[in-house]
A and B are shown apart, each in its own frame.
Chain A
Amino acid sequence: MNASPLSARIHNGILAISAFIILVVFPTLNAMGIIEDFTLNLWGKYLCYGILAVSIDLLWGYTGLLCLGQALFFSLGGYMMGMHLMLMIGKLGQYKSALPDFMVFLGHSTLPTFWVPFQSFPFAFSMIFLIPGLMALVFGYLAFRSRIKGVYFSILTQALTYGASLMFFRNDMLMGGNNGFTDFRTLLGANLRIASTQRLLYISTAILLIIVVMLCKWLTRSRFGLVQRAIRDSENRVLFSGYSTANFKLFIFVVSAVIAALAGALYVPQVGIINPSEMTPEKSLEAVVWVALGGRGSLVGPVLGAISVNALKSWATREYPDLWLLFLGTSFVLVVMFMPTGMIGLPSQLQALAKRMKRKSTEP
């Protein structure tokens, strides 16, 4: 982007102010009782979606990889956190058993071996990185080594998340089946059902979002970012510039999977539930729409897209539940047709338009 120093400074100023509002003002107002707990919790959810959107932008906007399986990594992160939260319920569940309720219901008497280490938070925390990261590594390795590109990559990632959701729907997977995990009580000893804990989770999400955006800014501005965008624009040429594009794509795919997983891990204790419907292809597609609406290839745009679309959704599904999908579809079509740079590109688009109008009016 060829932003002049002044507009770049304005841009950074707006970013800093937004970060301050999200990170400091909102939680403070909540602690003072001005912002309702429900609203702050809702915003915590939006910010998680914002992080997910950035992870998609990193792939789609910057590398040209339209991944339709990002909801899978988001959910996997959520499930890893969920497993720990399920075990932290202890004997407070419906069945008063040390086992998670759904296991009692399915007739289990002992905890399955792979569940046991999730009693430790550090273990669960590392799994949030490892499981989605490894999954992306293996899938990405196979896909990129076979030079699967473009729409074929999109279809494969969609199939991957669909397949995973079918697996998680099965009860004998021992991951809660179609009900998933819910009824969480504590995290690291803190009661999840009180406002102060939820506020801390909100703040953690805001911090993660800011870190992720800054990390991605740095990443895309390094020489790595140059290669990334070169791959997006002309992958073959990059091969003939001596870069192993498969390795670059694999790296960014894994990074983006881990970012999505972290967002999912923070999402679950705030929303209080995780089930396989979170990893269906529709969820991935919805997130792609946020990115397109907000403006891909800009990092901030996708966050804006995720927050505004979900805020609109919260309102529209309450007021006009039947019309919501029409709303979403129409705005998607309009943005794709008239705003190729999304919401974030609107100011410069208007500027260009004004300039053209001016020129027209001064011309005889």
Chain B
Amino acid sequence: MNPKPILLAAEGLNKSFDGYKAIHELNFYLDEGELRTVIGPNGAGKTTFLDLITGRTKPDTGTLAWDDSKHDLLRLNEYEIYRLGIGRKFQTPTVYTDHTVMENLILSLAGSRGIFHCLFGKTSSNQLDRIESILETIKLTSHAHRKAGTLAHGQKQWLEIGMLLAQDARLLLVDEPAAGMTDEETHRTGELLLSLAGKHTIVVIEHDMTFVRQISQGRKVTVLHQGQVLCEGPVEKVQNDERVIEVYLGRKSKAA
């Protein structure tokens, strides 16, 4: 019995777009319960990597195994992958703008996605309680009946995180949650993610180093560069790594 089963294993992943290698021989392992931060310069392949995991695009070669290799993600489509418990928050907040905040959460609730269920199923009082508590967590209780399209940018980000919570996903893939947020909002987002760590496995993609330091707290950080893992380790180690400094600051550091 492995005490920490490998939840997600990516091996030898390759994906190129018109000859541009977005992902190149990528190996990536994620343990159950981890809170992993992925950083890397623009074009490092971070979002493409999430696209591969969630089935938005298929890799040219390589494998993606889920839950101790019980499932091969490459054989599944977007909604089948979602149903395994892999939820995603997109880089630009993607909520249903013409639906209310409440309806956005109802649509994301864990449970059957069948047509019959959607026709005749009622939202149970348990589920309503759950929505109530999520609304509180994401501080949108007073906006429950507003159309999501009218929310402020930061609120939309939070709503999308709330949608992940409603789904009760095993793995949360969170793409730049702090983008466009104020410092205070960013900090609160960090606290929210930290409170979820342990209950869920989380992968956070982020640029903001203050935020990364806040949430990683000695946990493993992965640096992607040119579609490959450049180095992994605690944030202090990563920040002092020669190669990381080089890719972030350019060739200058080498010359100096």
Contacts and interface: CB of A to CB of B under 8 A. Distances in A.
Interface in B150-190: 163, 167
Interface in A241-259: 241-245, 247-248, 251
A243 B112 CA distance: 9
A243 B115 CA distance: 9
B96 A230 contact: yes
A239 B115 CA distance: 14
Contacts of A230: 96, 99, 107
Interface in B92-151: 94-99, 103, 106-108, 113, 115, 117-121, 123
Contacts of A242: 79, 82-83, 113, 167
B211 to A, nearest CB: 24
Interface string B46-84: 000000001010000000000000000000011100110
A114 interface: no
A358 interface: no
A239 B108 CA distance: 11
Interface in A184-227: 219, 222-224, 226-227
Contacts of B115: 224, 247-248, 251
B36 interface: no
B107 A226 contact: yes
Interface centre among A226, A242, A243, A244 (most CB of B within 10 A): A242
B88 interface: yes
A105 interface: no
Given A226-B107, A240-B54, A244-B113, A233 B118 contact: no
B118 A240 contact: no
Contact of B82 (A224, A229, A241): A241
B98 A241 contact: no
Nearest to A252: B115
A355 interface: no
Contacts of B99: 226, 229-230, 233
Nearest to A244: B79
A240 B106 contact: no
Contacts of A146: none
A222 B117 CA distance: 10
Q: Secondary structure at chain B's binding surface: helix, strand, loop or mixed? A: helix
A348 interface: no
Contacts of A227: 107, 118
B245 to A, nearest CB: 35
Contacts of A229: 96, 98-99
A317 B54 CA distance: 57
Nearest to A248: B115
Contact of B108 (A241, A247, A248): A241
B105 to A, nearest CB: 11
B77 to A, nearest CB: 8
A91 interface: no
Contacts of B121: 223
A239 B96 contact: no
A237 interface: yes
Interface in A103-143: none
Q: Which of B97, B106, B108, B115 has the most CB of A within 10 A?
A: B115
A241 B163 contact: yes
B118 A223 contact: yes
A248 B96 CA distance: 17
A51 to B, nearest CB: 21
Given A227-B107, A230-B107, A244-B113, A222 B54 contact: no
A251 B118 CA distance: 12
Given A226-B103, A242-B79, A237 B96 contact: yes
B119 A234 contact: no
A233 B106 contact: no
B168 to A, nearest CB: 11
A234 B113 contact: no
Contacts of B103: 226
B97 A224 contact: no
B120 to A, nearest CB: 8
Given A233-B98, A237-B94, A222 B107 contact: no
Given A239-B78, A240-B78, A234 B118 contact: no
A140 to B, nearest CB: 13
Contacts of B119: 219, 222-224
Interface centre among B90, B97, B98 (most CB of A within 10 A): B98
Nearest to A222: B119
Contacts of B117: 223
A244 B90 CA distance: 19
B164 to A, nearest CB: 10
Contacts of A243: 79, 113
A230 B95 CA distance: 9
B106 A226 contact: yes
B68 to A, nearest CB: 22
A243 B88 CA distance: 14
A230 B148 CA distance: 12
A238 B94 CA distance: 10
A239 B86 CA distance: 12
Nearest to B84: A242
Interface in B221-255: none
A234 B107 contact: no
A57 B140 CA distance: 33
Contacts of B96: 229-230, 233-234, 237
Contacts of A248: 115, 118
19 contacts: A222-B120, A223-B119, A223-B121, A223-B123, A224-B115, A226-B103, A229-B96, A230-B107, A233-B98, A234-B94, A239-B77, A239-B79, A240-B56, A241-B108, A242-B79, A242-B82, A242-B83, A243-B113, A251-B115
